Chains A and B, each alone.
Chain A
Amino acid sequence: MRHVIQELAAQHSYQATQLLAILRAVQGRYHYIPAAAIEQLAELLNIPRTHIIGVVEFYSFFHLQPQGEYELLISDSITDQMLGKAELMAYLSERLQVPVGGVHADGVVSLDNTSCTGLCDQGPAGLVNGRALTRLDKAKIDQIADLISQRKPVAEWPAELFVVSDNIQKTALLLSQTVAPGAALQVVFSRGKAATLAALEQSGLRGRGGAGFKTAMKWRFCAEEADAVRYVVCNADEGEPGTFKDRVLLNRYAEQVFEGMTVCAALIGASQGFLYLRGEYLFLYEPLQAVLARRRVAGLLGNAILGQDFSFDISICLGAGAYICGEESALIESLEGKMGVPRNRPPYPVTHGYLGKPTVVNNVETFLAAAHIALNGGEGFASIGTDKSKGTKILSISGDCRRPGIYEYPFGTSVQTILNDCGADDVLGVQVGGPSGTFISAQELHRLLAFEDLATGGSFIIFNTRRNLLDIVNNFTHFFAHESCGFCTPCRVGTSLLKKQLDKIVSGHGSAGDVVALEELCQLVKNQSHCGLGQTAANPILTTLERFPEVYQSQLKKISYEPGFDLDAALETARRMANRNDPAAHLAQIEAEHD
């Protein structure tokens, strides 16, 4: 092992910023991060071992304890749940003889849940040693179990297990007319940087990650910083459950995304860019590297791009299972080889980003649009959409509809129009913008896709009336508790408390005061948390509580108070050890009406 680690560290130039990449390789090879590897890396990278342990324990895909040679993870996203994930997981666990969250005694296979893998349009989905499995069913599970029992290397598994479809269902401005490699850059150089920035300004383009900051303004701020070193970062860590548009954009439109990044670099004066790709999209890594290589050959990356006095290149960094890294400052920390903990702001990344240097972080779709605008000017783009939301939005549609997939719409399109297009009826509600967004009811389908009405990073999950609202909210609330980075008190403790309090109500142990307590807790977590994760973690509860108070009320007991834990179960150990089962050895959950 010493030799392997030495080689790995050398390959990554002994840079601590490369820690995630190194650990991904170690995990891939040994299926855990051995203590000896940590010791050796600490020395080679000249960082404290505690730094490495911190990173290993932060990211879901790294383990201090050995996992199976086949690390199987099944997506626990609500859309996978709706496609029968629970039964499949039980079946898988039985077939492989390994408990969920455990490793088989022979060390061959481990099985666990994982957060949304971005394959909601073709679930139930999972990962085996990082590679995406789609459209799982019993037959495929049998096949997988057989492959594992034959100890067939994952690289030799049949390709049909790993088919990922693009599912592009509706195209508009951006997806129907792509930018030829280099075309936008040519225009930038002929038209000039100032004019390009002006076009971007005129287009009204706002960040597509959901927050909607004006792109031209961000780029201008960064360009105006005095520092000579600046960075461009593309945020492809789309972890919001229900979002998968970046997966498709990077599979089909990667040239244009890279072109957008290069345009940005030219405008702000950056020579290095990063694509931060979520670990779940490992299957895109090689194809994207190939695109980058092609662009280097074509003179669109590297030194003297298109013969100009402009050098720029892009590296791809893979994440390792942490939703929080979609938050831009956490993403930058992760790029630097650290735990993905959001920074204190100010300062903002645009002045103090990667390695403390001015950095533009934008969403994949933003760069795609920027390339389009650089080529075509801002006018056409601005003529589409609403007053405050220009252009189009690319949606990832999943859940209860006949045609899940990717849809591009002008801003200002109504939810009803979208539902008609994707074939959804009998709608209970739509989760717009993922768990951190808004749950709208069937009474609000006239609402519009727009920053000023329904802002969204692209997740659009449809639920029909046969779905149980509280199951949905419960899934989302557990997701946030799992993904909280733990930095600040209100989110670290609050998301766990939300989970407990909601579980109490959902499991039928709630009483009148419990919904009030739940709402109070929601407000606290929302108002006091450090970053967007905590500030939105209560949204699933708050937005449904507002619309469906009766669903919560119907769960409550008509008593003033009930314990949040199972009283009788709490006596089980003592009962067993004392070998008793008489009436006095039991407790009712709520007090009897009379003694």
Chain B
Amino acid sequence: MANKIKIATTSLAGCFGCHMSFLDIDERIIQLAELVEFDRSPLTDIEHCGPCDVGLIEGGVCNSENVHTLREFRKQCKILVAVGACAINGGLPAMRNFIPLEECLAEAYLDGIGVENPQIPNDVELPLLLDKVRPIHEVVKIDYYLPGCPPSADVFWAFLTDLLAGREPKLDYGLVHYD
């Protein structure tokens, strides 16, 4: 179908919980599949995002790879959506923001209990950590926000059905949760 809406999804510094919650739309996914097509997503295994209508981003920005991925999504997606607490305010990963990165790395790789052969991984293939975990709106422009940890399946459903119907997406009281 030529006029299917293209959606891409990814998780940055997140736990894939938002993706799991998305799948909780259960049998409604069949209805959705008739209207949308998935580009890059853990559901498709496509590695790079092509031109899309909607990008759903779970997780905050904790390392250089997250920045590249986020930029790719921003470039390719007409509408970019911050999904879940981590994308919106850094969430749980951002709780490391109160410990200097130096201490975090030292604890994990140098002098933490049980560390053997202490060294900081330095392979050039590995992304480097940012000094702080950031919400995605501090790195690229974001068009919509779906709060929740995770947002419920109904949130995804309400948002996407609004969008597909050409309505301005709106979350009613019961759909707005931060936990």
Interfacial residues, chain A to chain B (CB-CB below 8 A): 513, 560-561, 563-565, 567, 570-575, 577-580, 582, 584-585, 587, 591, 595
- Not counting A574-B129, A577-B105, a sample of 14 additional A-B residue pairs whose C-beta atoms are within 8 angstroms of each other reads A560-B141, A565-B134, A570-B132, A571-B130, A573-B100, A573-B102, A573-B129, A578-B126, A579-B120, A579-B122, A580-B124, A580-B128, A584-B127, A587-B67
What B residues does A577 contact at CB under 8 A?
102, 105, 120
A461, B100: Cα distance in complex, Å: 43
Contact for B101 among A561, A574, A585, A587, CB less than 8 A: A574
For residue B174, CB closer than 8 A to chain A, the reply is no
Q: Do A584 and B124 touch across chains, with their CB atoms under 8 A apart?
A: yes
Q: Do B64 and A571 touch across chains, with their CB atoms under 8 A apart?
A: yes
A414, B100: Cα distance in complex, Å: 56
What A residues does B131 contact at CB under 8 A?
570-574
8 of the cross-chain contacts (CB-CB < 8 Å) are A563-B139, A570-B130, A573-B105, A574-B101, A577-B105, A578-B126, A584-B64, A591-B71
What B residues does A582 contact at CB under 8 A?
124
A571, B101: Cα distance in complex, Å: 10
Scan residues 89-112 of chain B and give those whose CB is less than 8 A from a CB of chain A. Answer: 100-102, 105
Closest to A591 in B: B71
Q: Do A578 and B138 touch across chains, with their CB atoms under 8 A apart?
A: no
What B residues does A591 contact at CB under 8 A?
71, 74-75
Q: Do B140 and A561 touch across chains, with their CB atoms under 8 A apart?
A: yes
For residue B121, CB closer than 8 A to chain A, the reply is yes
Q: Chain B at the A interface: mostly helix, strand, loop or mixed?
A: mixed
A560, B140: Cα distance in complex, Å: 9
A574, B128: Cα distance in complex, Å: 6
Report the minimum CB–CB distance from A576 to chain B (whole Å): 9
What A residues does B105 contact at CB under 8 A?
573-574, 577
Identify the interface centre among B64, B75, B101, B102: most chain A CB within 10 Å of its CB.
B64
Q: Do B128 and A513 touch across chains, with their CB atoms under 8 A apart?
A: no
Known contacts A580-B122, A584-B64; is-contact A563 B132 (Cβ 8 Å) = no
Closest to B110 in A: A577
Scan residues 48-66 of chain B and give those whose CB is less than 8 A from a CB of chain A. Answer: 64
Known contacts A513-B141, A563-B138, A587-B67; is-contact A578 B75 (Cβ 8 Å) = no
What A residues does B67 contact at CB under 8 A?
567, 587
Interfacial residues, chain B to chain A (CB-CB below 8 A): 64, 67, 71-72, 74-75, 100-102, 105, 120-122, 124-132, 134, 138-141
Report the minimum CB–CB distance from B27 to chain A (whole Å): 38
Q: Do A578 and B64 touch across chains, with their CB atoms under 8 A apart?
A: no
A428, B124: Cα distance in complex, Å: 52
Report the minimum CB–CB distance from A471 to chain B (whole Å): 26
Closest to A573 in B: B101
What B residues does A585 contact at CB under 8 A?
64, 124, 128
Report the minimum CB–CB distance from B38 to chain A (whole Å): 22
Q: Do A578 and B120 touch across chains, with their CB atoms under 8 A apart?
A: yes
A561, B138: Cα distance in complex, Å: 9
What B residues does A595 contact at CB under 8 A?
72
A352, B131: Cα distance in complex, Å: 51
Contact for B128 among A561, A564, A565, A578, CB less than 8 A: A578
What A residues does B120 contact at CB under 8 A?
577-579
A578, B138: Cα distance in complex, Å: 25
What A residues does B132 contact at CB under 8 A?
570
A595, B49: Cα distance in complex, Å: 13
What A residues does B102 contact at CB under 8 A?
573, 577
Closest to B142 in A: A561
Q: Do B138 and A565 touch across chains, with their CB atoms under 8 A apart?
A: yes
A560, B100: Cα distance in complex, Å: 32
A570, B141: Cα distance in complex, Å: 19
A570, B67: Cα distance in complex, Å: 12
Closest to B65 in A: A584
What A residues does B138 contact at CB under 8 A?
563-565
A564, B101: Cα distance in complex, Å: 20
What A residues does B139 contact at CB under 8 A?
563, 567
Report the minimum CB–CB distance from B8 to chain A (whole Å): 16
A582, B120: Cα distance in complex, Å: 16
A256, B166: Cα distance in complex, Å: 74
Report the minimum CB–CB distance from B12 to chain A (whole Å): 14
A595, B76: Cα distance in complex, Å: 12
What B residues does A572 contact at CB under 8 A?
131
